[in-house]
Structure 1
């Protein structure tokens, strides 16, 4: 029981630390970390875009669609495609970051959306 209390306390602390930024990244947040040339920001960009890319093909499979990212695509390539999409579509950056990663990858790699 003590472990559960500690786990709940840790979750509550983590939630309160990040309460100023509720939810996940939107396109503006993602573009800001992906266009930044600092190592820490770029690592964050790589992690977010690669995680979203992994989810992207799982969602396609669950929707009975063919996966798009079958060929060897590097994490840097995924980040570059997403950054370019965000740069070229500033009017969409208010949308959720994961959704925009999906759109960027669909346009770049999928023959059927």
Structure 2
């Protein structure tokens, strides 16, 4: 790793370990929107673009892992591209500025649920799960 990358990783690790970071989330929706809408003319455009898609794809992977751990299928189509995930997230953030103060991960989740809603699941009835004596 280059020294700049090591400093960046150390800063991320330090921020992730602080109590405030755990409570507030790593990014707000505002911060993610700013990163994802960096102008192509900016000198850090490529870095910000990778940061944007890395965050979004990581959040989606985490959501899908949680669903899998709970024996649920992902509601996001298997053939979705990272570009599509980025597009629906940026579009959602752009149309919902009041919600951008919330955590970025909650906004990625909201964007994907709006684009690909999960079918409603019926709760298991307690009567149906009881065994007869």
Q: Does residue 108 of the first structure (1) align with residue 115 of the second (2)?
A: yes
Which residues in structure 2 correspond to 1:30-45 (within 5 Å)?
Answer: 30-37=32-39, 38-45=45-52
- Matching residue of 1:29: 31
Which residues in structure 2 correspond to 1:1-113 (within 5 Å)?
Answer: 14-15=13-14, 22=21, 23-37=25-39, 38-112=45-119
Higher normalized helix content (fraction of residues):
1
Distance in 1, matches of 2:101 and 2:12, equals 28
Distance 1:59 1:44, change over 3 A: same
1:47 positional shift: 0.2
Distance 1:12 1:51, change over 3 A: closer
Where does structure 2 lack aligned partners over 5 or more consecutive residues? 1-8, 40-44, 121-133
| TM-score normalized by the length of structure 2 | 0.65
Distance 1:65 1:39, change over 3 A: same
Distance in 2, matches of 1:94 and 1:12, equals 22
Distance in 2, matches of 1:13 and 1:108, equals 30
RMSD: 2.8
Aligned residue-pair number:
102
1:42 positional shift: 0.8
State which structure, 1 or 2, has the greater radius of gyration over its C-alpha atoms. 2
